[in-house]
Amino acid sequence: MIIDSEVERKPTAEQNQGVHFSLVADAIAYLRQHQFRQPQLEELASALEVSESHLQRVFSAWAGVSPKRFLQVLTRDAAVTALRDTATVLEASLEAGLSSPARLHDLTIACDAMTPGEIAAAGEGLDLRYGWAPCPFGQMFVAFTERGICSLSFHDEENVTALLELREEWPRARISEDHSQAQQLATRLFTQSLERGRLHLLLRGTNFQVQVWRALVAVGEGELISYRGLASLAGRPGASRAVGSAMARNRIAYLIPCHRVIREDGSWGNYRWGLERKLALRGWESARPQS
């Protein structure tokens, strides 16, 4: 089994953060739009039509820091500096065989790629479970088999589209609900008391895509990498455009951390689950204590 701890029936404080993500996302959008002016709390609260105290309380509970400190994390200069500093870290990672010094939550991410035959079978004979759970980035949709997680995405609210896409991708699989396991996974990933251990991902893609995704797993929490740097890390220097295409095909948010990839000039680029979420992921990781 992927997760074998008992179900936490009472929502944790971290899970309740997801309730406030809509306000936080709006705040991030405004901060990004006006980041060079460095807007103060009074201006931000007025633009969002909420009280300063409410905004400060909700934002700080969600991110662990004030909107002002969060804005500092997201500035272009900070991104460029982080990218430059990360280059040295990644050079060391390359020499160490893609072993990053900063692993996600002390979890070892093990990637199991499907064979071409398994992909062609479209999930025939596969028992696939899925569920929804609240997390700091809205509603998390996750699907998994006995071999590992095969899909993880973020949404503003639960919707049928996520399930329809899952069925399209795995048309011959036996698919069933398992919201309790989804909640356990959300608790494991997004609580402050983080669990050590191994987490398995089941990757469905071409050899090149799998190479890129495995390289992304080596980019540690709090680090950033450029498309060109990721191409080198994946063993395909000069293939930046192809790397971007592989990232667009990634179906496992957060654990295959596309949100840590930015452009050479420090701009944030695109993100499958929305730019505000990309900035939220980046700021949330940078702001909270490292375990």
- The answer to whether 111 is a known catalytic residue is no
Q: Check: CB of residue 139 under 8 Å from CB of residue 133.
A: yes
- Catalytic one of 111, 135, 150, 258: 258
> What contacts 24+ positions apart, CB below 8 Å, involve 118-125?
119/204, 121/172, 122/170, 122/171, 122/172, 122/173, 123/169, 123/170, 123/171, 123/172, 123/173, 124/172, 124/173, 125/172
In 64-176, where does DSSP find H-type helix? 67-74, 76-95, 116-120, 160-169
Q: Which helix (H) or strand (E) holds 138?
A: strand 138-145
Q: Check: CB of residue 134 under 8 Å from CB of residue 92.
A: no
- Spatial separation of the C-alpha atoms in residues 98 and 219, rounded to whole Å: 8
- Spatial separation of the C-alpha atoms in residues 225 and 82, rounded to whole Å: 9
Q: Check: CB of residue 140 under 8 Å from CB of residue 153.
A: yes
- Spatial separation of the C-alpha atoms in residues 154 and 139, rounded to whole Å: 6
Extract the tokens encoding 22. Answer: 């809509």
**Which residues are designated catalytic?**
258
